[in-house]
Structure 1
Amino acid sequence: MMILFSIASSQGASEGTESNPLLMKWNTPHETAPFNSIKTEDFVPAIDVALTEARKDVDAIINNSDPATFQNTIEALEVSGEKLDRVAGVLFNLNSAETNKELQAVAREVSPKLSEFGNYVSLNEDLFKRVKAVYDKRESLDLTAEQAKLLENSYKGFVRRGANLQGEAKKRYAEITTELAQLSLKFGENVLEETNAFELLITDEKDLSGLPEAVREAAEQLAKSKGKEGWMFNLQYPSYLPFMKYADNRELREKMYKAYTSRAFKDNEYNNEETIHKIVNLRLEKANLLGFKSHADYVLSERMAETPEKVNSFLEELHEASKPYAEKEFKEVTDFAKAKGLKGDLQRWDWAYYSEKLKTEKFGFDEEEVKPYFQLEKVREGVFELAHRLYGLNFKENKDIQVYHPDVTAYDVFNEDGSFLSVLYLDFFPRDGKRGGAWMNDFRAQSNINGKMERPIITVVTNFTKPTETKPSLLTFDEVETFLHEFGHSLHGMLANTVYPSMSGTGVYRDFVELPSQIMENWATEKEWLDLFAVHYKTGEKIPAELVHKLIEARNFQSGYLSERQLSFGMDDMAWHSITKPVTDDVISFEQRVMSKMELFPHVEGSCFNTAFSHIFAGGYAAGYYGYKWAEVLDADAFSMFKKNGIFDRATAESFRKNILEKGGTKHPMELYKAFRGQEPTVEALLERSGLKD
């Protein structure tokens, strides 16, 4: 059983479960979810039934009168709760990509039930006794390497989830996990509410000055969809970012910026400050119960980085390398803005605007200039072709697979020999019921227990600009990188070739999980790859070499500033989770104290970064945000192999597939990395690639 510590959703129970589509056998292609039949009211009863069955599975292991063995305890636990995994998988994915008030209510109702079941398993003394009995005789068992790893993971997992706790401590641990699950859910809901609450309606065309035609058109379409005349902008990335980059109206940029940075920080029911305090203090209490001095110590004991000290010194090393460049870049933009007539000091809402203008002037590069070459459908074809050249994969749309929204497309993915590999859903465009950002997830992980191969069902979700009545969806260069990034995660899931689902695909240490995604971004500036698909959507002309050269130059534009920004997020995360006493400071004071050494701007009154920092308070990145930078070191180092041998070199790709993508979490990440690269990674390749090295 891939024991559930994520959160679900729900609503009042429906009658009778015999006809509940979530509980019936799915006679669909590859047993994909029958979305056309699933209703919101199906979830609570389905979860209830699945929980009962999962509990029976666990009880059967506990009550087995035979001595504990790997098969009747460890493996049996791994495969238990299959129906619960399946139903919860649908629920969690919908709650992120296509939610509504009813589904969110479902989430709140089901969340404590799932936490309670998680605690029933992880705090069950009789179950732990059986797991420990197998673990204690591990040396005498004839286990494969993967079985040995599963046994180690199972035992450590129990210990890390409180199995050694007694009496009141065990009871308190269970209360904390349930409360944390609800708080994380609430945090994310508050951010979504606040993101959706703000709309800027422009009725005077002169206020659109500076905005590209495509941005205006999208804004007009958004207004129309809301029954309004004019142009509407909101806080979703495809609307917010272009406005901040291109809008000449400084007052409106300020308004947008302040709306974005004050999310969940206003004096209303969606304020996240108290939620943050509760989350970090409960995480500390939980870590203390388990014998760790901080939540960061607890988390990092199962990471490549190992300790908070190592993470902080890693972040500090990159901070020292980045800061001089960031300061130089800040001065350059300030001087440029003054020369362009800026009155007063450069403010945060000016940064993207003047940076974009400087980039255009410096490199002759304008984001809008490259967008016509990145028509979404063509980019998708290019990404699929890259996967074909590297790994021999082929993609075929399957219209018989049901989808949860008309924007979603489903594909069958095949190996070079024609064998079926995976289902892949692609869900590209923003909508009200969808959280911001981009992510990959699975509805079913790959596994191969007792010769029964289960191929994965993977989903990639983004928030790219929608096509309009007159224009296809054209991506920014950043969005092309985002697509490659999430597709890299999907390859990790699709190419998985492990026995056990809990170690399949992305079931790896959090600071290793970004390597397969971030390495893919390196192809974004390779002319050899771009030539396969990047043609002007009107003329069919290939992307010019000169434009690609500008892209490469512009890619490192302000790399010091951007590096400092990411490092500040990592340091902020580590500070919250390295506390050894409960936090009482208000959130903004804590934030400013930690992040000030990386800041180049004064604080904007009324803004707060942490109240919308979903990665660490509603996602899985607590004491783990540094992992993005950690993975940059890995991916720059790893991609140097492709640069050396050829960007489509099949032997290098095959080695990456066999040693990293297929292996999931079956071995320690450093062991896997060295098997591919032949050595441990160094920061040199990253500093060089980022232009942070003289």
Structure 2
Amino acid sequence: MAAQAYRSPPQAPPKFTATPKSLVEDTKRLIAKSRGLQDKLAADLNEGNATFKNVLVPMAHDENTMALESNIIGFYQAVSTDQGLRDASTEAEKLLDEFSIESAMREDIFKLVDAALKKGEKLDPESQRLLEKEHKSYIRNGLGLPAGPKRDRFKEIKMRLSQLSIIFQKNLNEETGGIWFTPEELDGVPEDIVSNLKKGEGENAGKVWLTFKYPDLFPTLKYAKNADVRKKVFINNENKCNQNVPLFREAIILRDEAARLLGYPNHAAFRIEDKMAKTPETVDEFLGDLRTRLTAGGKSEIDNLKSLKKEDLKNRGLDKAYDGNYYLWDHRFYDRLLVEQQYSLDHQKIAEYFPLQTTIRGMLQIFEEIFGLVFVELTGKERDAISETGKGSDIVWHEDVQVFSVWDDEGEGGKFSGYLYLDLFPREGKYGHAANFNLQPGFIDENGKRRYPATALVCNFSKPTPKKPSLLKHEEVVTLFHELGHGIHDLVGRTIYSRFHGTNTVRDFVEAPSQMLENWCWTPSQLKSLSRHYSSLSGEYMQAYMESAPAGTEKPSERLPDELIKKLIDTKHVNDALFNLRQLHFGIFDMTVHEPEDHEAVEKLKVSEKYNTLRKEISLIDGPEVLGAPNDWGHGQATFGHLIGGYDAGYYGYLSSQVYSTDMFYTVFKSNPMNAKEGRRYRHTVLERGGSQEEMQTLIDFLGRKPSTEAFYKELGISK
């Protein structure tokens, strides 16, 4: 039980009481207020009297307060069960994006910002960074172009790209595809997955509906013995959002045109200029070097998996089915089988030790210990007490959502940090992956008081059944740590301006803090403390477990046994080359479509063919094309939300961030992951600063030197 001091937050949580009508009205009100401020600045000031204080500060406060509502307005489309709310949220986001483009292209305001910059006033470092970033953003938004046709065309492109992004993501969120299968066709898929699938009626009587949501898709690709079933699921999943195919193509063509209008050779050069990498050449060199180092290992891993596949088919009397190929729909199945056979590790058995709620509690305890935080779950009347309306249901968007108030512990001052929300299970219309959403940023308001953040983890884990709680595969435990890493980054941010709060860093650094925390999922002591066999949670669960277990089964140990922990850790880098080659495929495809030789090249590019041929060349795994299918058999880019949602010419950041995260872990935490002194230093030196200074400087401050690739390559076993 948390101390009473932690039960009265000084700031009410946000409300989730919007209607479709109010979302649009609130959006128009926010836009009118912000436009009014800009009009007033333009009317009252001139280049002679413009300063940071009278131009940038009012705009920063407006940006801060706008974000308190606008983030939530856009959030409804990712989580609401109400189609009307999702549609209104999408419409509102379109209005906000259009206004953002309009604001970024106001020449009258740019002249004031330009004048303020030229004044050369002595400012604190974060304010200086705000001034410089704001100035640069106007130029990057077309104000370096002369007024007239070119600038008008640039604005037109920006507007259309905004629309494409919104429609693309909406299509993904609302995707409802699937396939009817008989239970026999799903032989091998765990019973608790199959029993939870929707049952067919009429012409589909006796069948079950397998969706393309992760809790259905991944277990089927991992466990379905029938290769034709896996193939059907894989190919259909690659084609589940084909209405996005023309949207993606239009986006890359428009991005290239816009970059060339601004004088850049391509979109990648435009995007990477203000990242840590600075130039596409740096990125290409990094990805190319990594590909060279990984390819031999990838070929060796495939040879091993081919042998396993051949042996498996022989053992099942299917010798003639082996054609010497190793297919995309084979990989999750044989990757899993290899781990089970060569390491005697059953991930289903491991999952029994990670019930969702006990894992969350254990994870929060780890973060409490190393970062000096306290997490207090708010339920029942506690929600009523802190809700501005007096109704606890008003502070969540769905009944499944958990809410925590987050505090600094006494050693860190005992002050409030913000709110954390967990939305963990799939439902219709919900965002289909795992992600962290900032709901409200932190900042210093115009009265000098701190405004505290609210942040949400949106995941899609399997739901509990009457006989089992929700159980996490180890890879899902890693996902949970990763996404909460983003959440912690949000919660401990201590910046003046919302612009730099928490995860508002450059894209090729933003994943590093989350990736570093994944290491705690591979540490023996943490795995032990996190784990608890679900049968020990209640008498009912124990009874159900013993009833389903083979005769003579002994009561399982409460904590994950040491031998299972060792086996799990031994598998950390199994088929690691293939895993990273898959990431390289995404990164190199991203760079390829955004780095064409000329504009004609991107207009002529056959995007789906390029996506599939690059995958075969880089990942080394066979697709349907080796069976004679055309090279556009699938349209994976149409399901790739990252490349429309902000990671364009930036997906390499997942790999480059891994360089930084591994360096930080090896240098500071590997010898003692629970070192609270270093954990707090990391919190204050890296996480609190967000994007308020150059990210390279943040790394140098923490490491005491420039980051190195040595630890990253050592971890992958590919050091030269």
Q: 2:69 maps to what in 1?
A: 87
**1:585 Cα offset (Å):** 2.6
Shift of the alpha carbon at 1:190? 2.9
Match of 2:256 among 284, 292, 302: 284
Q: For 1:233 and 1:516, locate their aligned partners in 2 and report how far apart those are by CA, in whole Å.
A: 35
Residue 88 of structure 2 corresponds to residue 106 of structure 1: yes
CA contact (8 A) 1:588 1:608 kept: yes
CA separation of 1:65/1:190 partners in 2, compared to 1, >3 Å: closer, same or farther? closer
Asked if 1:243 is matched to 2:270, the reply is no
Q: Residue 508 of structure 2: SS of its match in structure 1?
A: coil
Query: Where does residue 511 of structure 2 map in the other structure?
Result: 514
For the 8 Å contact 2:418–2:454, the answer to whether it is kept is: yes
Q: Counterpart of 1:167 in structure 2: which amino acid?
A: G
8 A contact 1:564–1:598 mirrored in 2: yes
**Does residue 662 of the first structure (1) align with residue 679 of the second (2)?**
no
Looking at structure 1, the residues matched to 81 and 257 of structure 2 have their Cα atoms a distance apart, in angstroms, of 32
TM-superposed deviation, 1:639: 0.4
Which residue number in structure 1 is paired with residue 372 of structure 2? 392
Q: Retained in 2: the 8 A contact 1:61–1:77?
A: no
Q: How does 1:512-551 map to 2 (within 5 A)?
A: 512-539=509-536, 541-551=558-568
Match of 1:126 in 2: 108
Q: Distance in 2 between matches of 1:692 and 1:537?
A: 39
Deviation at 1:110, TM superposition (A): 3.4
Q: Is the 8 A contact 1:235 1:260 kept in 2?
A: yes
Q: CA deviation at 1:320?
A: 1.0
Amino acid at match of 1:568: H
How far apart, in 1, do the equivalents of 2:671 and 2:310 lie? 47
Cα pair 1:575 1:594 within 8 Å, conserved: no
Contact between 2:586 and 2:651, CA under 8 Å: does it hold in 1? Answer: yes
Question: 1:633-667: per-residue Cα shift (whole Å, max 9, x none)?
Answer: 11111101344551111221122111110011111
Is the contact between residue 53 and residue 81 of structure 1 (CA under 8 Å) also seen in structure 2? no
Q: Hey, what's the Cα distance between the residues in 2 that align with 1:86 and 1:451? A: 17
Query: Equivalent residue for 1:481?
Result: 478
Note the residue ranges of structure 2 that are not aligned, 5 or more in a row: 1-7, 314-318, 384-391, 537-556
Residues 169 and 626 from structure 1, CA distance in 2 versus in 1: closer, same or farther, beyond 3 angstroms? same
Contact kept in structure 2, 1:50 and 1:83, CA below 8 Å: no
Residues 434-462 of structure 1 show CA distances to partners (whole Å, capped at 9, x for unaligned) of 12111111111111245210010111111
| Native 8 Å contact 2:364 2:375 kept in 1 | yes
Question: How far apart, in 1, do the equivalents of 2:75 and 2:205 lie?
Answer: 31
Match of 1:681, SS?
A: coil
Contact 2:477–2:521 (CA under 8 A) maintained in structure 1: yes
Task: Say whether residues 1:184 and 2:153 are aligned partners.
Answer: no
Question: SS at 2:419's partner residue?
Answer: strand
Deviation at 1:223, TM superposition (A): 6.9
> 1:148 and 1:285 mapped to 2: Cα distance?
32
- Deviation, 1:352, is 1.4
Q: Summarize deviations over 1:378-436 as a string: whole Å, max 9, x none.
A: 11011111111111111111231520011111110010123111101111011111121
Q: 1:382 aligns with which of 347, 356, 362?
A: 362
The 5 A counterparts of 1:49-64 are: 49-64=29-44
**C-alpha spacing 1:329/1:493, structure 2 compared with 1 (3 Å):** same
The partner residue of 1:554 within 566, 571, 575 is 571
* Whole-Å separation in 2 of the counterparts to 1:398 and 1:426: 12
Give the C-alpha shift of residue 601 in structure 1. Answer: 3.0
How has the CA–CA distance of structure 1 residues 643 and 361 changed in structure 2, closer, same or farther, with 3 Å as cutoff? Answer: same
Percent identity of paired positions between Structure 1 and Structure 2: 29
Query: Residue 700 of structure 2 aligns to which amino acid in structure 1?
Result: K
* 592 and 535 in structure 1: CA distance in 2 versus 1, 3 angstrom threshold: closer
Asked if 2 retains the 8 angstrom alpha-carbon contact of 1:511 and 1:631, the reply is yes
Equivalent residue, structure 2, for 1:607 = 634
Residue aligning to 1:590: 610
Matched with 2:138 is 158
Q: Counterpart amino acid of 2:639?
A: A
The answer as to 2:654 corresponding to 1:628 is yes
Partner SS for 1:451: coil
Give the whole-Å Cα distance in 1 for the aligned partners of 2:426 and 2:51: 49
Does residue 1:258 correspond to 2:235, yes or no?
yes
Q: Which deviates more from structure 2 when the two are superposed, residues 488-497 or residues 286-295?
A: 286-295
Distance 1:292 1:445, change over 3 A: same
Deviation at 1:543, TM superposition (A): 0.8
Point out the more displaced range, 181-190 or 332-341: 181-190
Q: Which amino acid aligns with 1:409?
A: Q
Work out the CA distance in 2 between the residues paired with 1:603 and 1:373: 36
Deviates more, 1:346-355 or 1:649-658: 346-355
User: In 2 relative to 1, CA 432–644 (structure 1 residues): closer, same or farther, beyond 3 Å?
Assistant: closer
Q: Structure 2: which amino acid aligns with 1:560?
A: A
Q: Deviations over 1:321-357 (max 9, x none)?
A: 1111111111111111111225123322222112211
**Structure 1 length normalisation: TM-score?**
0.90
Q: Is the partner of 1:30 in helix, strand or coil?
A: coil
1:64, distance to aligned residue in structure 2 (A): 2.2
Aligned Cα root-mean-square deviation (Å): 2.1
Deviations, residues 113-155 of structure 1 (Å, cap 9, x unaligned): 32331232111111011100111122xx121111111111111
Quote the residue 1:649 is aligned against: 675
Change (3 A) 1:192 1:584: farther
Mapped to 1, the partners of 2:303 and 2:342 lie a distance apart of: 15
Contact map agreement 2:110 2:138 (CA 8 A) in 1? yes
- SS state at 2:248 partner: helix
* Equivalent pair of 2:74/2:92 in contact (CA under 8 Å): no
What's 1:437 paired with? Answer: 433
Q: Structure 2 length normalisation: TM-score?
A: 0.87
On the 8 A contact 1:374/1:535 being kept in 2, the answer is: yes
1:407–1:427: 8 Å Cα contact kept in structure 2? yes
Cα drift, residue 216 of structure 1: 2.8
Hey, what's the Cα distance between the residues in 2 that align with 1:33 and 1:39?
15
The answer as to whether partners of 1:410 and 1:424 remain within 8 angstroms in 2 is yes
8 Å CA contact retained: 1:51, 1:117: yes
Residue 82 of structure 1 deviates from its aligned partner by: 5.1
Distance 1:228 1:148, change over 3 A: farther
Q: Distance in 2 between matches of 1:84 and 1:54?
A: 8
Kindly indicate whether the alpha-carbon contact (under 8 Å) linking 1:51 and 1:81 is maintained by their aligned counterparts in 2: no
Task: Give, in angstroms, the shift of residue 596 of structure 1.
Answer: 4.1
Task: Give secondary structure in 1 for the equivalent of 2:444.
Answer: strand
Matches within 5 A, 1:67-78: 67-78=49-60
Question: 2:568 aligns to what SS in structure 1?
Answer: helix
Q: 2:401 is matched with which residue?
A: 408
Contact 1:375 1:473 in 2 (8 A): yes
Distance, in Å, in 1 between the alignment partners of 2:581 and 2:35 is 48
Map 1:304-343 onto structure 2 (within 5 A).
304-341=276-313, 343=321
Count of paired positions: 653
Aligned to 1:299: 271
**Structure 2 counterpart of 1:350, one-letter code:** D
Q: Structure 2 vs 1, CA of residues 129 and 675 (structure 1 numbering), >3 Å: closer, same or farther?
A: same
> How many angstroms apart in 2 are the aligned matches of 1:250 and 1:277?
32
Q: Is the 8 A contact 1:376 1:473 kept in 2?
A: yes
Structure 2 Cα separation of the partners of residues 551 and 223 of structure 1? 38
Q: What is the rounded CA distance, in whole Å, between the counterparts of 1:659 and 1:168 in structure 2?
A: 47
Distance (whole Å) between structure 1 residues aligned to residue 297 and residue 210 of structure 2: 33
Q: Which moved more, 1:155-164 or 1:662-671?
A: 155-164
**1:83 deviation in Å?**
5.5
Amino acid of the residue matched to residue 275 of structure 1?
L
Q: Match for 1:137: what amino acid?
A: K
